[in-house]
Amino acid sequence: MKRAPLIPKTSRSASETPTSAPAAPMVDSLIARVGTLTKGNSVVLPVCGRDVKFVLETVPADSIESTTLVWAGNERVQAFLTEDALDDLIPSFLTVGQQTPAFGRRVDDHIEIADGSRRRMTAILTSSDYRVLVGDLDDEQMDALCKLGNDYRPTSAYERGRRYATRLQNEFGNNISALADAENISRKVITRCINTSKLPFDVIALFSHPGELSARAGEQLNRAFAEHQALLTNKVAELTARRKDGILLEADELLEELMNAVKSKSEPSRQNVYKRDFGPGMTAQYKGNRVVYNLDITKVPQGLVEQLEEIMEKSHTKH
């Protein structure tokens, strides 16, 4: 992410749908306003319809982890911010450093980040200084900044599902229709995302970044886990080991590996079937560990049937 989203100039509640207009023009406007700021400079920007004075602070690379943290309301799962997931940011950080500041507020001796968690982790990974515009923000404004950043660089179905599940339980009394209205999306999308969020952490960690797993595919995987948990857990462990060995699979390849593991177990193994003909009215069919004898009593001697019955009775008595 070479650019960060601009704070909207009009108020927008947390439940409203993000505008579908492209973010780039707003981003360009923000860069023009804050791009030339240096440490200690300030700028006033509207957040939720209220002007906020932001002061630019530069956090040294070696103290980012100890003096900054990501706001708990940010739905982006920080554990998934790996080098692979940040490959769009790392090159520019290595060559010119962080170009667009993050946004946050000061809480005691920490800076709490609303928008800029990806830039924060990139700065940590590249040992770069971290630039943050710090303002006096309340939770509503922090949430608005988080949402704006996540709209520009969308979070995954897994991450959205975690937020939907929390809101569904805590705010909407498990009324999924009410949540769908508040989020202005369909019940189906919410259900798929929530089902995706039920997948084990290790499954999501197989992907370069969680956004590679769609809600549709995530729901399908969740159903497979419900039916074949032990089988898929073993498969995930195998794929995780391969990833640690440097064998990286594309998203479609990972899905194929996981679903094939289920199919190979679910589909009955094909066993060779062959028959023997012992004469008129006498055949036997062999399949795996089973043998089926077919006798046409109109064509075989009655004594043969009696002999077979006697042999089976003796065998049953013996065992």
Concatenating the DSSP letter of every residue in 170-237 gives HTSTT-HHHHHHHHTS-HHHHHHHHHHHTS-HHHHTTSSSGGGS-HHHHHHHHHHHHHSHHHHHHHHH
Q: Looking at 106-115, 122-131, 241-250, which range is the least confident one?
A: 241-250
pLDDT score, position 261 = 86
CA dist 53 and 49 (Å) reads: 13
pLDDT at 212 exceeding the cut of 80: yes
Q: If you search the block for the tokens 């969020």, which residue do you land on?
A: 197
- Single pTM value for the model: 0.68
pLDDT at 227 exceeding the cut of 60: yes
pLDDT score, position 31 = 55
pLDDT tens by residue, 81-97: 999 899 999 999 999 99
Q: Which residue has the higher pLDDT, 187 or 301?
A: 187
pLDDT score, position 129 = 96
Mean pLDDT, range 28-40, rounded to an integer: 61
pLDDT score, position 36 = 64
pLDDT at 214 exceeding the cut of 70: yes
Q: Sketch the domain layout of the chain as residue ranges.
A: 24-153, 200-266, 273-318
pLDDT at 25 exceeding the cut of 50: no
pLDDT at 18 exceeding the cut of 50: no
Q: Which residue has the higher pLDDT, 234 or 23?
A: 234
pLDDT score, position 42 = 86
pLDDT score, position 150 = 78
How far is the CA of 169 from the CAs of 122, 162, 190, 218, 276, in angstroms? 33, 11, 13, 21, 65
Q: If you search the block for the tokens 């042999």, which residue do you land on?
A: 311
pLDDT at 315 exceeding the cut of 80: no
pLDDT at 270 exceeding the cut of 70: no
Q: Does domain 200-266 have CATH number 1.10.10.2830?
A: yes
CA dist 296 and 284 (Å) reads: 12
How far is the CA of 300 from the CAs of 232, 252, 310, 313, in angstroms? 52, 59, 16, 20
Mean pLDDT, range 257-263, rounded to an integer: 87
Q: What is the mean pLDDT of the chain?
A: 84
Mean pLDDT, range 29-55, rounded to an integer: 78
pLDDT tens by residue, 43-55: 888 999 999 999 9
pLDDT tens by residue, 181-192: 999 999 999 999
pLDDT at 271 exceeding the cut of 50: yes
Question: Which two three-digit tokens encode residue 17?
Answer: 């749908």
pLDDT at 310 exceeding the cut of 90: no
